[in-house]
Chain A
Amino acid sequence: MAFYFVQFLTGLASAASLFLVASGLSIIFGVTRIVNFAHGAFYMLGAYVAFTLTERFSGALGFWGGIVVAALVVAVIGVLVEMVLLRRIYHAPELFQLLATFGLTLMVQDIVVLIWGPDDLLGRRAPGFRGAVDFFGQKIPSYDLFLIALSPIVLGALWLLFQRTRWGVLVRAATQDRDMVAALGVNQKWLFTSVFALGVFLAALGGALQIPRDAVHHALDLRIIVEVFVVVVIGGLGSIIGAFVAAVLVSELNAFGILIFPKISIILVFLVMAVVLIVRPWGLFGRPEAAARRTPGLTVTPWRPLTANERLLSAGALVVAAMLPLVAGNYALTVGSEIAIFVIFAASLHFLMSVGGLASFGHAAYFGLGAYGVAFLAKAAGLPMIVSLLLGPLLGLLGAAVFGFFAVQLSGVYFAMLTLAFAQIVWSIAFQWVAVTGGDNGILGVWPEKWAASPANFYWLSLGIATAAVALLRVIVFSPFGYALRATRDSPLRSEAIGIDGKRVQWTAFVIAGTLAGFAGALFAYLKGSVFPDSLGISLSVDALVMVLLGGVETVSGAVIGAIVFKAASIWLVSQTDLSKLVMGGFIVLIVVAFPKGIVGTLEAIRNRRRSAAAKPVSLNSRVETAE
């Protein structure tokens, strides 16, 4: 009995650190609607700065003072980031801020290694909380008890702050309806900055408080960020109490789960999230999101098919691309094939995001399923390449059909997180089911047959499929189905009123996108000759998002350019420098500032401005807003 009680307390202590970080993320999202990918980076910075301060200043005051000062220092960094970077892009399309914070995260990963060195650092134990308390023969670390006590205190303090101060009232109001708060004359700039500062402070505090029990190293951010997102979503976005309950739920399930299934930790949070979101689409304590006032499709000039000249131009570009084997060597052609594959992958996600209005955080699942499909067919069944290439993506289709059915019941960030959960579940199956998938060691020897083996032939094959995929998606966009999908995106109510079955349309779009991603994955398996679980992983899903956002989410085919720029830059940087993350992150941040609508989106906006300035009065071209 004593054991179970102590295990419960241990779970609570784990929950405390999760809660601190999650509450900060939840507050930031609630008010600013920023999906702050850099939250983990601030957590990590908190730990590093606290390590330096507590090593320099000894004694109880040095330690506890160091923790608090570290959190304050990082909060100041957060304020700078908000003022210099994020303020410029609040009006960018939804999720674009994700790109900026992703770039920052990449940079911070390299910067901490440059400053603090590559080794794992061991911080001091907390003065006064070094030992353990004996409880019927079971030992409870006293620092755990401190953390257990701290989290309700933080929860209470936040509650007071939000319920009893004018600032708190504004924050709550903005969480519910930030446009109305702005209309009432509240200075949003400073509200956002202060909220961001508080959120970052909590993240850094969470990181700093880990140094007596954890190691400080440069992968801390990735370890926490996904888990924290999950906790926030399970609890309900913007709900502090929800974050608290979810943190406790997840930690306790883990603490007791490992007693029965020792391998469960790897997937537990995602299972919990999937179940919670299917049963309660807005998390445990969340409320349905208010309908967005600005919908993505309406803030830009309406889409239209390419003009004759543009068609000619695209065909010309394609011919140039097809001539690459005449001039380029084998390596360039293989890189070209990889870029073509990622064009398919990014275009499929782009279709879902910009046409369907459904941002998936787990699109790699269908890419990876396509890759595994090919690997099974080619290796286990011994089918010829052309058959595997055609049938392999069906596994992606199947996955998309099953998961898409549940996912399209949700919208916004909840949709994104459910797709992430499904992707992680698929990933962990590939990772754990060693007998079938080879686990972490993957499936080797998936090489193309002779006719496709030469780099030039494989390049033409990839380019051909990529062209067909992009063309197909454009046809769909301007087909009646495409209009129905856009109608559902722009106004679910009105489209339903005219008889469009929104969920079915979105589900179909999800399956189309998943199948095309499967084709990309199938080609990828043959390009690399092997398939590993990381072709289903989070980082690949994030890469796809980045490509789409980089190209411009409000465009018809921006992802094509986004994929080419991102993939070419990342392959080249990884080859040229060990600091590829720092340079890539900086590059992304620069692009975010220079092209606030993505590369293609911004170029189109400039062209439209020129054209309309010449043709008609500017006032007619102003923003159209709907009233839901």
Chain B
Amino acid sequence: MRRRHLLGAGLAIAVTGMAGGAMAQGEIKIGEINSYSLLPAFTEPYRKGWQLALEEVNAAGGINGKKLVVISKDDGGKPADATTAANELVSSENVVMLTGTFLSNIGLAVSDFANQKKVFFLAAEPLTDAITWSKGNRYTFRLRPSNYMQAAMLVEEAAKLPAKRWATIAPNYEYGQSAVAVFKKLMSEKRPDIQWVDEQWPPQGKIDAGPVVQAVAAANPEAILNVTFGADLIKLVREGNTRGLFKNRAVVSFLTGEPEYLDPLKEETPEGWIVTGYPWYDIKTPDHDKFLKAYQAKFNDYPRLGSIVGYQTIKAAAAILAKANSTDPEKLIAAAQGLTMPSPFGEITFRKIDHQSTLGAYVGRTALKDGKGVMVNSVYRKGADYLPSDAEVEKMRPKQ
């Protein structure tokens, strides 16, 4: 008998949530995919961001009078599952556009799917340069400033440093590899006198920080480029602090100023690192104030960079749909190319040449304030100023 009960419970679980959504008329549905279960620390603020944007869009009358609906799916951090989700959204939910994704390989998988099925895809967070350049396609647009752009912003500051001996620490996968490659290339162009004395490639999520810190220290660099983030960054910073790695050394670090990565460091936050990030507490523009107030009022929490990305993704999707006034993918592409719109960071444009948005990032220095990490002396760098020339872009992008 007991076994039967358990079986019954299992079936009950299987049946719950069967209720799907029969959609009403007068709606425009867009699909959204992200790694909610694998990377909740980054995707939760992101989700809040797009929920806020969705509310605002619909409160302002939706898309030319039609209600905007977002159907959101988890990809579990796997490209193959993301393709399944994309397929469900397109074939079963009949969405008119795909948005989202965080990891680069998932962004690429969905962008290739979009290209094959001729669906409009607005990539939100993936940083890889490939998605708009070497593997770019006409159906894919990307919001966030790419690896190249972040590197170019950092190089501008790093080149001013007197340091000549540089070491790099980066996670051993595509993101880390291409971040280091672009940084090295741009840096060596500006400063031919620089020497690269050591590089460390810990596996993503599995850094054995002690030996890595020792190895870098042994090469005695004057400056360090860091690309690790998340839990790896925390371990690296702790070991580095204890072993004095960062003392009297300049450090340039990708993304570390984003609250997602800076806040967990708490009182361990190293001072004076040159970083890209999002100092929400320091941005005093009307556009951002409006966003910040609305976000804090709705969620009683402060925004992370993911919140901005999520918010602007849906705002951009709405702007594209409104301008196209159609759900035909070709019209959406035509509408999106060159479209300019407001954002919490100021006006941005989706470039016609490579479908990259000109959303920028803040560059500043880390500091410790009341036991918390903050960014100080931050300056907003417009994305448009940190992209290669059109001729170079055209060379990289495949002809279609």
**In the complex, which residues of chain A have a beta carbon less than 8 angstroms from the beta carbon of B109?**
442, 444, 528-530, 532
Per-residue CB contact flags for chain A residues 568-586 toward chain B (1 = under 8 Å, else 0) read 0101001111111101001
Known: A122-B268, A528-B80, A569-B14. A263 touches B37 (CB 8 A): no
Pick the contact of B210 from A13, A121, A591, A594 — CB < 8 Å? Answer: A13
Taking a contact as CB atoms under 8 Å apart, the answer to whether A118 and B44 are in contact is yes
C-alpha gap A120/B88 in the complex (Å): 32
Q: How far is the CB of A336 from chain B (nearest CB, A)?
A: 12
Given contacts A217-B231, A262-B199, A594-B10, contact A254 B177 (CB under 8 A): no
Contact A219 B205 (CB under 8 A): yes
A131 touches B210 (CB 8 A): no
Q: Which of B85, B206, B264 contacts A575 (CB 8 A)?
A: B85
Decide if A219 touches B105 in the complex (CB within 8 Å).
no
Instruction: Tell me whether B214 and A10 are in contact (CB under 8 A).
Output: yes
A528-B109, A580-B37 in contact; A440/B84 too (CB < 8 A)? no
Q: Which residues of A contact B76 (CB under 8 A)?
A: 574, 580
Interface 1/0s, chain A 59-85, versus B by CB < 8 A?
Answer: 000000000000000000000000000
Q: A331, B91: Cβ atoms under 8 Å?
A: yes
Counting CB contacts under 8 A, is A132 at the interface?
yes
Q: Tell me the A10-26 residues at the B interface (CB within 8 Å).
A: 10-11, 13-14
Q: Is the CB of A259 within 8 A of B215?
A: yes
**Which residues of chain B are near A122, meaning CB under 8 Å?**
234, 264-266, 268
Q: How far is the CB of B36 from chain A (nearest CB, A)?
A: 5
Contact residues, B1-24 vs A (CB, 8 A): 3, 6-7, 9-10, 13-14, 17
Q: Do B79 and A532 touch (CB < 8 A)?
A: yes
In residues 87-117 of chain B, which contact A (Cβ within 8 Å)?
87-88, 91-92, 104-105, 108-109, 112-113, 115-116
Chain A contact patch, size range:
35 or more
> Provided the pairs A223-B205, A529-B112 are in contact, do residues A440 and B215 lie with their beta carbons within 8 angstroms?
no
Verify B17–A120 contact, CB threshold 8 A.
Answer: no
Residue pair B210, A110 in contact (C-beta under 8 Å): no
Number of B interface residues, CB 8 Å?
A: 76
Looking at the assembled complex, report how far the CB atom of B173 sits from the nearest CB atom of chain A, in whole angstroms. Answer: 4
Shortest CB–CB separation between residue A378 and chain B, in angstroms? 14
In the complex with contacts A141-B243, A215-B231, A440-B104 CB distance below 8 A: yes
Interface residues of B in 208-255 (CB under 8 A from A): 208-212, 214-215, 217-218, 230-231, 234-235, 238-239, 242-244
Alpha-carbon gap, A11 to B218, bound state (A): 15
Which B residues lie within 8 Å of A113 (CB)?
40
Q: Which residue of A lies closest to B84 (CB)?
A: A571
A113-B40, A439-B174 known; A534 and B79 CB under 8 Å? yes
Contact A120 B78 (CB under 8 A): no
* B112 touching A334, Cβ below 8 Å: no
Q: Is the Cβ of B235 less than 8 Å from the Cβ of A331?
A: no
Q: A11-B211, A14-B208, A578-B37 are in contact. Are A447 and B116 (CB under 8 A)?
A: yes
Contact in complex: B74, A213 (CB < 8 Å): no
Other-chain residue from B13, B88, B104, B243 in contact with A441 (beta carbon distance below 8 A): B104
CA–CA, A482 to B344, complex, Å?
67
Query: Given the complex of chains A and B, what is the CA–CA distance between A593 and B78 in angstroms?
Result: 29
A258 interfacial by beta-carbon distance below 8 Å = yes
A439→B173 contact, CB < 8 A: yes
- A425-459 residues with Cβ-Cβ distance < 8 A to B are 431-432, 434, 439-442, 444-445, 447, 455
Cα-based distance from A613 to B178 in the complex (angstroms): 68
Q: How far is the CB of B86 from chain A (nearest CB, A)?
A: 10
Find the A residue at minimum CB distance from B232.
Answer: A215
* Contact, CB under 8 Å: B91 / A213: no
Known: A7-B214, A10-B211, A574-B74. A440 touches B206 (CB 8 A): no
A440-B173, A530-B83, A590-B10 given as contacts; is B203 within 8 A of A266 (CB)? yes
Are the CB atoms of B88 and A532 closer together than 8 Å?
no
B70 to chain A, nearest CB (A): 14
Q: Chain A interface secondary structure, helix, strand, loop or mixed?
A: helix
Q: B residues 121-150 with Cβ under 8 Å of A?
A: 128, 130, 135
Chain A residues, CB < 8 A from B211: 7, 10-11, 14, 254-255, 258
Q: Does A139 contact B (CB under 8 A)?
A: yes
Known A118-B44, A213-B209, A262-B199; judge A441-B105 contact (CB<8 A).
Answer: yes
A6 touching B74 by the CB < 8 A rule? no
B172 in contact (CB, < 8 A):
yes
* A335 within 8 A of partner (CB): yes
Whether A441 contacts B128 in the complex (CB less than 8 A), given A265-B172, A265-B208, comes out as: yes
CA distance A338 to B175 in the complex (A): 29
Taking the closest CB of chain B, its distance from the CB of A452, in whole angstroms, is 13
**Chain B min CB distance to A375 (Å):** 12
B324 CB to nearest chain A CB (Å): 25
Per the bound structure, the CA–CA distance linking A530 and B199 in Å amounts to: 31
Q: In the complex, which residues of chain B have a beta carbon less than 8 angstroms from the beta carbon of A262?
A: 198-201, 215
A3: interface (CB < 8 Å): yes
Residues of A within 8 A of B (CB): 3, 6-7, 10-11, 13-14, 110, 113, 118-122, 131-132, 138-141, 143-144, 213-215, 217-219, 223, 251, 254-255, 258-259, 262-263, 265-266, 329-332, 334-335, 338, 431-432, 434, 439-442, 444-445, 447, 455, 524, 528-530, 532, 534-535, 539, 569, 571, 574-581, 583, 586-587, 590-591, 593-594
Residue contacts A-B, CB under 8 angstroms, 28 given: A132-B244, A138-B214, A143-B242, A213-B238, A214-B238, A215-B235, A262-B215, A265-B206, A330-B92, A440-B105, A441-B174, A444-B109, A444-B112, A445-B116, A524-B80, A529-B116, A530-B83, A530-B112, A532-B105, A534-B78, A535-B80, A571-B84, A575-B84, A576-B17, A577-B17, A577-B74, A578-B74, A590-B10
What residues of chain B have their CB less than 8 Å away from a CB belonging to chain A?
3, 6-7, 9-10, 13-14, 17, 36-38, 40-41, 44, 73-76, 78-81, 83-85, 87-88, 91-92, 104-105, 108-109, 112-113, 115-116, 128, 130, 135, 172-175, 177, 198-203, 205-206, 208-212, 214-215, 217-218, 230-231, 234-235, 238-239, 242-244, 263-266, 268
